[in-house]
Chains A and B, each alone.
Chain A
Amino acid sequence: MKSTQVVIIGGGATGAGILWDLSLRGISAILLEQGDIANGATGRCHGLLHSGARYVAKDLETARDCLAENRIIKTIAPHCVEDIGGLMVQCPQDDPAFFEQWWRAAGDADIPSRRLNAEEALALEPNLAANILGAFTCPDAHVDVFRLVLANIEAAVGRGARFHTYSKVNSIQSADGRVRGVGYSNTLTGEKHEIACEVVINAAGGWAQEAAALAGVEVPVRCDKGTLLVLNHRPSSRVINRCRKSGDGDILVPAGPVCILGTSSMSVPGPDGLTASPEEINYLLQLGAELIPGVADARILRIFCGARALYVPAKVDSAGGREISRSYALFDHETLGGVGGFISIVGGKLTTYRLMAAAVCDCVAGKLGVQSECTTGKVPLRPVDDCKAHRRINELLPLPVAEKMERRLGPAVTRVIEAIDARPELAELVCECEMVTRAELEYVLGEASPIPAQTIADIGRRTRLGFGPCQGTFCGYRAMLAGFQTHRWTASQAAKEFSSYLHERWKGQALIQEGKQVEQLDLSHELYGADLSTCAYSGEPDGK
């Protein structure tokens, strides 16, 4: 049986941050994730690296946390952040008293901000509604959630930590009131495994209650659904917030080539099986169009939902989700009279993942008697790019391809260079929207990558393949072929994989009611048959 000091349940931002923090403190740990990286709320959020502007009028403390973390993440993980800045836009429909309240609060929290009149704001963002009254600037940014999670895990793996995807924890063993280990199964193969450990950390987000139940304890969280729309391109170049008391549908976040609009808020029983209703989608679009009128006609690429795990302090009633504090809570179940060595971390935000991880790791270090300090605020998550590799990749690949790949891979780009040098045909573009070469695809599928992709969707989370307008119709097919040709999958596995990938991509587009994406989806259906009958594969050609 494998053994380690700490097992972490959940490979979202929080779990990944904990793994990195522990590895810096020299504490051995294994992270188990039931799906792929960022399978939960982390992979289904706006990716707004909050500057605090959004919370400052209501919750000064959260705003201060966000501002501090915003600055830290920008310095330790610049390759994950697009430092585009943001605007808090004053709309004529909203309460002008709030604008002044916001301005004062931003001053109190030291959020760097400038007051713009309507003309100045429109000069920066010409697509904003012409009737806006003005805007405040703020240092909001976009953070690529998949990159951020990967960066934490890759850095930790580099220091000896371990990480397993598709590994669902389904039992927690304890003896004498202390945890002794966990049991988990591989969700792709069904294989069962066990790990002996001294501490178990529950970073299971929306699934925190289920995970806690395995240890026989309870955590007070409630799931709150948010729906997001992905637009095909960026109608703004900055984060656009609506300056009013937090409400629905009032943030637009440019995220790489796309732009994410949302979100609604709705209590749900759990994080699984979430869908958006047509009314919700229309409502979000209508709100988006109040900020940027063009949004009404913009192309939606896909629609998805995520569940925030909100911490419910004892006395708060179950009114609207937003009345509950967004800040996080850490439960040391040992001191709460539960099982020893079991810790739950719930709530919070993506922006504050590092802070939450630091709190957890301080607690773990105390339990294990390790003298240590948190250094994640200072140590860069990725070494700086190597100039030689930079020059070489620019010789091998056209500019945008090289630039995109370098941003994604960092120093690992040398692997791709070696591959293309040996086999120039690997420079072929597999995903034309996100500029993914065959070489990069083979790298993330192969064992040389720190967390090899298991499925086509995994390739997407590592490279953005299939995240563009065709939603995997063309590139997904090529990825399947690559998986087969590199012997990653047998023919029938590859066909099955493509079928389930495409169905998942179709699902994300099925709710779009009109416009170009509907035609795009039709094209996909035409190509593969709406029932995917053209991909159904029977018989095994002996590995050929």
Chain B
Amino acid sequence: MRQDDFAIDNCLKCSVCNAACPVFGVNAQYPGPKQLGPELERLRLEGISADTEWLEYCLGCHRCDMACPHGVGVSEMIAHAKAKHHKPLVRGLRDWWFARPGLLGKLTTILPAISNFALSMKLARFFMSKVMRITPLRTFPAYTKPNLRTPPARTSEDRARLLFFPGCFIRYNRPDLGRKVIELLERNGFATEVAATECCGVPAAANGDAAQAHAMARANVKSLVAGVDAGMRVVTACSSCGYMLKTGFGGLLKDDRELAPAVQKIAASTLDVGELLIAQSDAGMLNTDFQQANMRLAYHAPCHQKSQGIGRPWFHLLRQIPGITIEDLDAGCCGMSGTYGFKQEKYKISVAIGQELFDSINASQPQMVATECATCQMQIEHGTDFKAIHPVEIMLQAYNGKII
């Protein structure tokens, strides 16, 4: 325990965090953030074995932190305890894989066709469900060739240069979305370079794999720092990556004196694509060359977007497109939390948490749901009959006049 952890003293036991916790809301047996965080932390310091399987059930959504009126930093305490939590072999093995989406990405992309076929095969799914305890009720996102590259400069004019942090989902599953991000930024006068980075480390942290999360954080910081030093800003299109770069690295590497200054610089230079564009819009510099659209959208704000504390930039950006009506659903957490929703023992809770969101989408009857987070999209498409896509795609379509 170190001095800067004295935040544990801030808890007044008011239970506001419990009221905000999605898991607590659907499962009364879950001990809740107050207990898993500050309460058990005192006992952990005392040397009581306060390990509990419930630690695995925390989504890492940060809603408790946002709700706490006393700055306790509840979810970070839980994440630390999760990292020390002991899992049985099979769950441990599964979570080891889940902590490394990049690894699976690299492997499957060597021969994407075959591995996607295997992932969809009945036998493989049976194995995953019975042995690996991965729910057969969901489909894995398909892997593809990781062919996202920095595009050649299109114009000779001197443009502001950005460093794009794609994260593993865009790199391995949706490089086309990455190209759309680059094109959108290009249309707004930016030149974008794709950073040579790894997975941001959120899946590792969420699966309690502290060593892997640290390794990812260090590798990413090292590869980003030169660009940042050269004055480039870093953009993210995935809300979890954005959270990690802004806050997560700081927590993971707080004892690393050598990297700490770089971590701070990166945190201060990182922007969500939406955050960057809304700032352009506020400055009157957004490219508003939109074609007339005709579409009703519903917007879901991912938890890690909320915890960045940047408002809802995409909601306000999409509203500016003529002919788009958009409703902010404001229906809590989707319950997917990355790999969480894939885990057999957590599937029920995951879907139960999403129910409020599903209901509000069904009530809203949009043509499509817009949300930045890939796993929120998966959950929405799993729980409703509506399609969910990244706002970047909608905005780009609006420039191209492709929105009906």
Interface residues of A (CB under 8 A from B): 82, 126-127, 232-235, 237, 254, 256-257, 293-294, 297-299, 398-400, 403-404, 432-433, 435, 468-470, 473-474, 515-516, 519-520, 523
Contacts and interface: CB of A to CB of B under 8 A. Distances in A.
The 3 closest A-B CB pairs, nearest first, are A299-B9, A400-B50, A257-B42
B52 interface: yes
Contacts of A235: 1, 3, 6
A432 B46 contact: no
Contacts of A257: 42-43, 45-46
A230 to B, nearest CB: 12
A404 B8 contact: no
A233 B42 contact: yes
Given A469-B13, A523-B14, 13 more contacts: A235-B1, A257-B42, A298-B6, A398-B54, A400-B40, A400-B52, A433-B42, A435-B43, A469-B12, A473-B13, A516-B10, A520-B12, A520-B13
Contacts, number: 84
A232 B42 contact: yes
B34 interface: yes
B371 to A, nearest CB: 36
A474 B9 contact: no
Interface SS of A by simple majority: loop
A150 to B, nearest CB: 20
Given A127-B1, A470-B13, A474-B13, A233 B34 contact: no
Nearest to A256: B46
B39 A433 contact: yes
A213 B186 CA distance: 95
Contacts of A233: 1, 8-9, 41-42, 45
B2 interface: yes
B52 A398 contact: yes
Interface string B1-34: 1110010111111100000000000000001001
A233 B8 CA distance: 8
Nearest to A126: B2
Interface-central residue, B2, B12, B46, B51, by most chain A CB under 10 Å:
B46
Contact of A516 (B2, B9, B31, B54): B9
Contacts of A470: 12-13
Given A232-B42, A432-B35, A400 B48 contact: yes
B47 to A, nearest CB: 8
Nearest to B32: A432
Contact of A293 (B3, B11, B39, B48): B3
A476 to B, nearest CB: 13
Contacts of A234: 1, 45-46
Interface string B43-82: 1011111111010000000000000001000000000000
27 contacts: A126-B2, A232-B42, A233-B8, A233-B42, A233-B45, A235-B1, A235-B6, A237-B1, A293-B3, A294-B3, A294-B6, A297-B6, A399-B51, A400-B50, A400-B52, A403-B49, A404-B48, A432-B13, A432-B34, A433-B42, A469-B11, A469-B12, A470-B12, A473-B13, A519-B12, A520-B13, A523-B12
Contacts of A516: 9-10, 12, 70
Contacts of B35: 432
B343 to A, nearest CB: 21
B48 A403 contact: yes
A254 B43 CA distance: 12
Contacts of B42: 232-233, 257, 433, 468
Nearest to B45: A234
A338 B56 CA distance: 70
Nearest to B39: A432
Interface in B145-175: none
B13 A232 contact: no
Nearest to A235: B1
A469 B52 CA distance: 22
Contacts of B54: 398
B30 to A, nearest CB: 12
Contacts of B12: 469-470, 516, 519-520, 523
A232 B54 CA distance: 25
A304 B41 CA distance: 25
B9 A232 contact: yes
Contacts of A474: 13
A473 B3 CA distance: 28
A469 B49 CA distance: 20
Nearest to A473: B13
A126 B2 CA distance: 7
A515 B12 CA distance: 11
Contacts of A433: 13, 39, 42
B48 to A, nearest CB: 5
A519 B11 CA distance: 10
Given A400-B43, A470-B13, A232 B48 contact: no
Contacts of A299: 6, 9-10
A299 B38 CA distance: 13
Contacts of B49: 399-400, 403
A256 B52 CA distance: 20
B38 to A, nearest CB: 8
Nearest to A297: B6
A399 B9 contact: no
Nearest to A398: B52
Contacts of A523: 12, 14
A399 B8 contact: no
A234 B42 CA distance: 8
B85 to A, nearest CB: 11
Interface string B224-268: 000000000000000000000000000000000000000000000
B27 to A, nearest CB: 14
A400 B45 CA distance: 12
A232 B41 CA distance: 11
Interface-central residue, A293, A433, A470, by most chain B CB under 10 Å:
A433
Contacts of A468: 42
A127 B5 CA distance: 11
A423 B3 CA distance: 43
Contact of B3 (A127, A254, A404): A127
A232 B34 CA distance: 16
A400 B10 CA distance: 22
Contacts of B40: 400
A294 B14 CA distance: 25
A234 B47 CA distance: 11
Nearest to A301: B9
Contacts of A127: 1-3
Given A257-B43, A520-B12, A399 B50 contact: yes
Contacts of A294: 3, 6
A237 B47 CA distance: 9
Contacts of B48: 400, 403-404
B29 to A, nearest CB: 10
Nearest to A294: B3
Contacts of B13: 432-433, 469-470, 473-474, 520
A400 B46 CA distance: 11
A338 B173 CA distance: 95
Contacts of A519: 12, 70
Interface-central residue, B13, B35, B51, B52, by most chain A CB under 10 Å:
B13
A237 B39 CA distance: 18
Contact of B8 (A232, A254, A435, A473): A232
Contacts of A398: 31, 52, 54
Nearest to B4: A294
A334 B96 CA distance: 77
Nearest to A520: B12
A388 B160 CA distance: 70
Interface in B61-119: 70
Interface-central residue, A126, A257, A400, by most chain B CB under 10 Å:
A400
A430 to B, nearest CB: 13
Nearest to A429: B35
A523 B34 CA distance: 17
Contacts of B41: 233
Contacts of A515: 9
Contacts of B34: 432
